[in-house]
Amino acid sequence: MLSIPGQQGRLCDGVTRREFLRVGGAAMLGLSLPQLFALQAKANTTLSPSLPQNGFGKAKSVILLFLQGGPSHIDIWDPKPDAPSNIRGEFRPIKTNVPGIWLSETMPKLAKQMDKATLIRSVSYTPAGLFNHTAAMYQMVTGETPDKVKPSGQLDPPSPADHPNVASHVSKFRPPDVAMLAAVQLPRPMQESNIIGKGGNAGFLGRAYDPYFFFQDPNTEIKLDDLTLREEVPVSRLMRRKTLLQTINEGMAEIEKATASYALNEHYEKAYDLILSQRARNAFDLSQEPDTVRDKYGRHTFGQSVLLARRLIEAGTRFVQVNWPSVANGDPNTTAWDTHAANFGPLRDIHCPKLDSAVSSLLEDLHDRGMLDETLVLTIGEFGRSPRVGVSTSGNSNAPDGRDHWPYCYTGLIAGAGVRGGQVYGKSDATGSTPLENPVHPRDLLATVYHTLGIDPKTEVLNHLDQPRELVKGEPVLGLF
């Protein structure tokens, strides 16, 4: 089946999208396949005149720093110094380079870069089985609540019927302009317990739109065998193979191209180009970066992953998702954000220094390279942590200095692609428990991502049952621009 992406309803020539969902429809309307593909390309780029233009199409690429596990908003982004001690915690607030915006003392480097970013202190949703990490992560990166949640709160393993990761939609509607990986996910899959990768793949879009899964530690020596030309296959031989493929495709009948070689053209040829261009392999080569830059991001898995994200975007990748390099329900003393057992010590000594060095360096680096205007950066977890220390809000046991899950109000950081820096959007109450102004659902954040890339969030795609589905049932947060 060949689906035509684009706006809802009718295309620019007045023909409904449904009339083009099958190749047979093209023949009925007297269109050749080249004309059909040209119409497809036009539908991919035509802007809907009804869409607000605030930030629309400003981004060429997106970096999602996904802090799986749920970092404490009060102890990092939204300090509450006037709250009781069992809420405000152990950390003092510090000034940033923007008057009136304060961060926790755990983020001194980011405090010097806040003029480049916005804090959304009113991210909020009401749980529907979403107190569980896997379910909440699934919602955060797909925009959909999971269909099946077990009594334990766990989800089923990944399925071809799952909703696609945001990166997969971006790969479909905004493929790279150069021979480069469309989307990359690193350095490990999203995971809770034995549920690995849920929400991280293309789901019903098909594996062709999966991100490139780079599950290695970039702080160590990495291997790129699948992007490397084997010694026994010289460049000339690979070029001959590509030429032969093109010759075969050109000689096939139109309908055969539609059913077979279109996929070859779109996927095999891209694979050839990736290997021949060496662009992707060079982007993964962190040894090309000065030691001073690598040190600044941090010589740890997260820091080098964020640096690698910048290099991938610079090389032409559209979407990079950097997952915090620890499972969602891991030991907080080994960098997991899930701080039931201990909150303040791990944040002070392990988590926040790594987060601080990586995010601050990324914002400064993108700005200095002139890339921030065209790159959207979103840093967020699947939820925050409970305002009160030592209490249970999700049925978990908590140590006296631990914080439990809290989806009702938390903070995300967003920057670039037309987002105004040096502002706070939304407001939490005195205890960081609930939004007082401008609540933002995770779906709205994904709608904002699509919006900045010039993709109408209401664009319809067909799921595995050939049912139309919007990319996301959210609204772009236009007040950010």
**Integer Cα distance of 163 and 149 in angstroms:** 15
In whole numbers, what is the pLDDT of the chain averaged over residues? 84
Query: What's the pLDDT at 228?
Result: 60
Q: How does pLDDT run across 128-162, given as a tens digit for each residue? A: 666 788 889 999 999 998 766 665 556 788 899 99
Q: What is the DSSP letter of 259?
A: I
* pLDDT on residue 271: 59
Residue 258: the pLDDT is: 47
Q: Mean per-residue pLDDT for 233-242?
A: 48
pLDDT greater at residue 225 or residue 293: 293
- What per-residue confidence (pLDDT) applies to 11? 36
Q: For residue 279, what pLDDT band results from cuts at 50, 70 and 90?
A: confident
pLDDT digits (tens, 9 = 90+) for 67-80: 999 999 999 999 99
Strand partners, 66: 323, 380
* pLDDT tens per residue, range 84-106: 999 999 999 999 999 999 999 99
pLDDT at res. 280: 84
Highest average pLDDT, of 37-51, 234-248, 402-416, comes from 402-416
Per-residue pLDDT, 414? 98
Rounded Cα distance, 284 and 265, in Å: 25
Position 166 scores a pLDDT of 98
CA–CA gap between residue 343 and residue 336 (Å, rounded):
10
pLDDT tens column, 385-403: 999 999 998 888 889 999 9
**Looking at the DSSP assignment, which residues form a beta bridge with residue 61?**
375
Contact 314, 293 (CB under 8 A): no
Q: In order of start, what are the domains of the chain with their CATH numbers? A: 58-222+284-457 (3.40.720.10), 224-276 (no CATH)
Say what the pLDDT of residue 259 is: 43
Report d(CA 6, CA 424) in Å as an integer.
33
Percentage of residues of the chain with pLDDT beyond 70: 76
At residue 4 the predicted structure's pLDDT band, cuts being 50, 70 and 90, is very low
Write out the E strands in 194-348: 195-196, 212-213, 319-323
Q: Smallest Cα–Cα separation from 410: which of 195, 30, 119, 128?
A: 119
